[in-house]
Chains A and B, each alone.
Chain A
């Protein structure tokens, strides 16, 4: 049963605003299995990131959530902050959009990986350092033993995102949420990162939620797709089905908006 790993049912997120509460995510349901990738697509403000933040309990102050979020059968909604801390980064990890601003400029990348490992697994700094070097090697950072003591600004954009991924995977999470991980990168680096993520997924079996507004990226990595529009889940199905036979107007508009180099070849 692959669908058992992660289940979201009827998730609704309400944010307080100056003009009263607004539902930014409405009745979203999906599942992610082991070794499975779900793509969440939608334009800015469609509620993609809010869904991800709701999973980790990192919503802005005052936000309310209802529905159900279950990881391996255990309900995550309504857990205490302390319980959520032990889940974040450990069972569910997250990679963010802009790797430069997502890494703390004041600390070496080594320390930032080590602190996460030690928060969940404990142990000495020495052990954590070893794990961090291995994690950097796994994402193909050359000369990892030396580079571990460098600061984020000393790496290239693609390397920084590799480091974010190394960090996210260092505690072997069962679910990885990647929120626009390739948006801030140029196209060739984007391709390398996608390749890396696919490679790591095939070795670790981690379930993945891949959030993006880029349909080309989704089609290359996701097995199933959830399309969101203004907080509503408008279409949910296998990538093949959603891309070749979209049921909803919005999905069709999204697809039509993509300039396709393979149009003539495909038809």
Chain B
């Protein structure tokens, strides 16, 4: 088991380095000259040269990449300015340290992701479970029709409709402003409930359909029939012999979805004006702010890769058949 974990973590490092290299090449080599962008409108050739010099743009690309990596782990110097580790450079637009931009916005994205995940897991799994048990009834058909509809509604449409109805027309919720929980718990909840709902709807519908399909499959399993033939109570049969086998594959999908969201919910954060990683990504792309784009991409890749490993490790504890072959 320990060897397995070490092997997986080694793989993570390799993947992250590869992602680093690719994003670096794409954003720093294929996009407009950063020096020209930083220099702005009142620019002279001499200034461009000195900016190039400070950013190290005159050096070979691999040297530049090496310095970028060094910056992340050991810090680096831009001319007279020292950027301490982990250094992801400075925004071309605001000159702010990219690392501090991330640490300031990450809590918002995490709050959005966690809240949405709780909602969609509860709604999706419970809805799918009831549908499976009441297969073919009006509840099942209604729930699955709603789920199909829910999956089909784009996030931004739902977000705008909710804001228009709840904030503008009915005025039951304030406009989302991402306050700290400690300052005003009620306002915090009221601010986040719409983004949570908007993000959760699509996932909940998907999870409801998945849960339903998995549970129905499990109800056909021979071991489910054995459990009934053993005379166990209905609730024990369902809980132990249907739910656990049916939900185990869902943890895999959940891990990946959740990890993906930690890297920022681009559309939802932008529509609600929440200052998270997703909105930062959207803004930086619009303004071609390369260090920020680069950092956001790396962060998303980091979460997805780590999420993948966590899911695999959790899976080995959930499914004994995997556990034994992996050790």
Residue numbers of A with Cβ under 8 A of B are 56, 58, 81, 84-90, 93-94, 96, 98, 101-108, 115-116, 119-120, 151, 153-154, 164, 167
Q: Is the CB of B244 within 8 A of A115?
A: no
B298 within 8 A of A: no
Q: Is the CB of B240 within 8 A of A107?
A: yes
Which among A86, A106, A151 is the interface contact of B231 at CB below 8 angstroms? A86
Instruction: Give Cα A98 to B233, complex, Å.
Output: 23
Q: Is the CB of A116 within 8 A of B244?
A: no
Given the contacts A106-B245, A151-B321, A151-B324, A96 and B231 also touching, CB distance less than 8 Å: no
Q: Is the CB of B225 within 8 A of A96?
A: yes
- Which residues of chain B come closer than 8 Å to A88, judged between CB atoms? 228-231
Whose C-beta in chain A lies nearest to the C-beta of B318? A106
Instruction: Give Cα A211 to B318, complex, Å.
Output: 36
Q: Is the CB of B234 within 8 A of A102?
A: no
Which among B223, B229, B231, B234 is the interface contact of A103 at CB below 8 angstroms? B223
- Which residues of chain B come closer than 8 Å to A153, judged between CB atoms? 320-321, 324
Which among A56, A87, A104 is the interface contact of B227 at CB below 8 angstroms? A104
Closest chain A CB from B231 CB (angstroms): 4
Q: Is the CB of A154 within 8 A of B324?
A: yes
Besides A86-B231, A104-B226, 13 new A-B residue pairs in contact (Cβ under 8 A), listed by A number: A58-B228, A58-B229, A81-B234, A93-B229, A94-B229, A101-B223, A103-B223, A104-B241, A105-B319, A115-B236, A115-B240, A119-B233, A120-B231
Given the contacts A106-B319, A151-B324, A90 and B231 also touching, CB distance less than 8 Å: yes
What sequence of 0s and 1s flags, for each residue 216-227 of chain B, a beta carbon within 8 Å of any chain A beta carbon? 000001110111
Q: Is the CB of B231 within 8 A of A87?
A: yes
B232 within 8 A of A: yes
Q: Is the CB of A96 within 8 A of B236?
A: no
Closest chain A CB from B315 CB (angstroms): 12
Given the contacts A101-B221, A101-B222, A56 and B320 also touching, CB distance less than 8 Å: no
Which among B223, B225, B230, B324 is the interface contact of A115 at CB below 8 angstroms? B230
Q: Report the number of A-B residue pairs with Cβ-Cβ less than 8 Å.
A: 77
Instruction: Give Cα A155 to B236, complex, Å.
Output: 25
- Which residues of chain A come closer than 8 Å to B248, judged between CB atoms? 106
Instruction: Give Cα A106 to B218, complex, Å.
Output: 12
Closest chain B CB from A139 CB (angstroms): 16
Q: Is the CB of B232 within 8 A of A115?
A: yes
Residue numbers of B with Cβ under 8 A of A are 221-223, 225-234, 236, 240-241, 244-245, 248, 319-321, 324
Closest chain A CB from B316 CB (angstroms): 13
Instruction: Give Cα A236 to B244, complex, Å.
Output: 44
Instruction: Give Cα A44 to B258, complex, Å.
Output: 48
Q: Would you mind naming 8 contact pairs between A and B with Cβ atoms under 8 Å apart?
A: A85-B231, A85-B232, A102-B222, A102-B226, A104-B227, A106-B248, A151-B321, A164-B226
Closest chain A CB from B134 CB (angstroms): 12
Q: Is the CB of B231 within 8 A of A116?
A: yes
Instruction: Give Cα A103 to B324, complex, Å.
Output: 17
Which among A56, A119, A164, A167 is the interface contact of B236 at CB below 8 angstroms? A119
Whose C-beta in chain A lies nearest to the C-beta of B228? A58
Closest chain B CB from A203 CB (angstroms): 22
- Which residues of chain A come closer than 8 Å to B324, judged between CB atoms? 151, 153-154
Closest chain A CB from B247 CB (angstroms): 11
Instruction: Give Cα A153 to B231, complex, Å.
Output: 24
- Which residues of chain A come closer than 8 Å to B230, judged between CB atoms? 88-89, 115-116, 119, 167
- Which residues of chain B come closer than 8 Å to A102, judged between CB atoms? 222-223, 225-226
Whose C-beta in chain A lies nearest to the C-beta of B224? A104
Most chain A C-beta atoms within 10 Å of own C-beta, residue among B222, B223, B320: B223
Q: Is the CB of A151 within 8 A of B225?
A: no
- Which residues of chain A come closer than 8 Å to B241, judged between CB atoms? 104
Whose C-beta in chain B lies nearest to the C-beta of A85? B231
Whose C-beta in chain B lies nearest to the C-beta of A100? B222
